Amino acid sequence: MTEVKKLDDEITSFTVSNGNVSFTAIEWGCTITNIYVPSKNGEKVDILLGFDSLDGWKKGTEAHNAIVGRFANRIRGAKFTLEGKTYNLDKNDGENCLHGGNTRYEKQLWRGEKYSDSEGEGVKFTRKSPDGEQGMPGNVDLCVIYKLNDKNELIWEYSATADKATPINLTNHAYFNLNGKGSAEGHHLQLDCKSILETAADSAPTGKILNVDGTVFDFRTEKLVGRDCDKVEPLKNGYDQCFITGGNETELVRFGKIWSDESGISMEMFTNQPGVHVYTANYIGGKIGKGGVVHKPHDGICFETERFPNAINEPSFPNCVLKPGEKYYHKTIFKLKTEN
C-alpha cells in the first residue's frame, strides 16, 4: 500500500507499507525520511536519523538519507580529464569535490510517482541533470526507485542515461541506527569484504588496495561497530572508507549484515556495486535531529554502495564513465528481520 501526501505546493511524500515494515520518501532530494521496523518488543522503531520537519530536511547539511551524485564521494583535486577536456569542479572538501560539490542532488526537487513491479511496491523518482550542472558534461536522465516487498526487503535501484560521456556514481546517504536512538557503536557488524581502498589524510583514495587481514578494517568475523573507531588511521575518529564488495553490475553479491541486540533488528545487505563506503557519522556531533536530539559522532552508520571514489582519476579502478547509448544501473537490497 502506498499513501501519497502533499507537503506543500511543490513537494509530495510517499509512504509505502507491507503491513509490517514501512518507509516514507519525499521529492526533496529524493530523500527517505523514515523506515519503521518492529522491534523484538513489538514497538515500531524508526531506523533512520534525520529531521522532524520539511524545513529540517531542506536545511540539513549531512546528506541525510538523500541521493548524492552526479558522482558520489570524492574526486581528488576537484577536477578530471575526459575525452581530452579538463573539467573543474567545486572544492567543497578541502581541495577535493565531495558528493557533487555545492549544487547537490540532495537539495534538488525530484518528481515522484507510485511504482510497482514483480519485486515490490514503492515510488519512482526522476530528474534531469542538465549539461554543466556541478561542472559535469552532458544531460543526464536520472531514475531512482525505492520499493518494499513482503519479504521485508528494501530494494533501491538507480539508473541513468546521458547524451555525452560523463562520470556517474549515485548512492543514498542513509544514516542507520537500528535502535532508533543513541549510539550505533554497540551494533554488531559483519562484512564479507576482504580489502579496502587505502585513503590519504584527505579521505580520498591513494589508488592502492589493502588487504584487511590483521587490521581494524577486518569485519569478516563480527565485531562491534565502535570497537576500533579510535584506531582507524589516519584520523582516528571512526570509519570513512570504501570496502571492496567484489560486486559487479551484472549480479548481486552479499556484502554484510548489521544487527542490534537491544532492538532485535537486523539488516542483511546486497549490492551489484564494486564498493560500499562505510561511514560512522564522524561529523554529526552537535547536529539536532528527530525529537530534538543533539547527536554525537557515531550515532549512525552509512552503507553507501558505490563505484570507487575518484575512479575518474585512477586508471586502475573499474570504469565509472557513462557514454551515450549505455545505461547505468545500480541495485542495493537491505533485508530486514526482527529476532527475539
Rounded to whole angstroms, the Cα distance separating 5 from 11 reads: 9
State yes or no: cis peptide before 38, omega within 30 of 0. no
Question: Exactly one of 27, 62, 157, 304 is catalytic; which is it?
Answer: 304
Question: Exactly one of 99, 173, 277, 295 is catalytic; which is it?
Answer: 173
- Among the listed residues 170, 132, 176, 166, the one whose alpha carbon sits nearest the alpha carbon of residue 266: 176
Rounded to whole angstroms, the Cα distance separating 104 from 138 reads: 16
188 counts as catalytic:
no
Rounded to whole angstroms, the Cα distance separating 132 from 261 reads: 48
- Among the listed residues 189, 334, 190, 188, the one whose alpha carbon sits nearest the alpha carbon of residue 261: 188
What one-character DSSP code corresponds to residue 318?
Answer: P
Which residues, 6+ apart, have CB-to-CB distance to 37 below 8 Å?
21, 44, 45, 47, 152, 178, 265, 336, 338
- Among the listed residues 98, 25, 17, 35, the one whose alpha carbon sits nearest the alpha carbon of residue 57: 25
64 counts as catalytic:
no
> Which residues belong to the active site?
173, 304
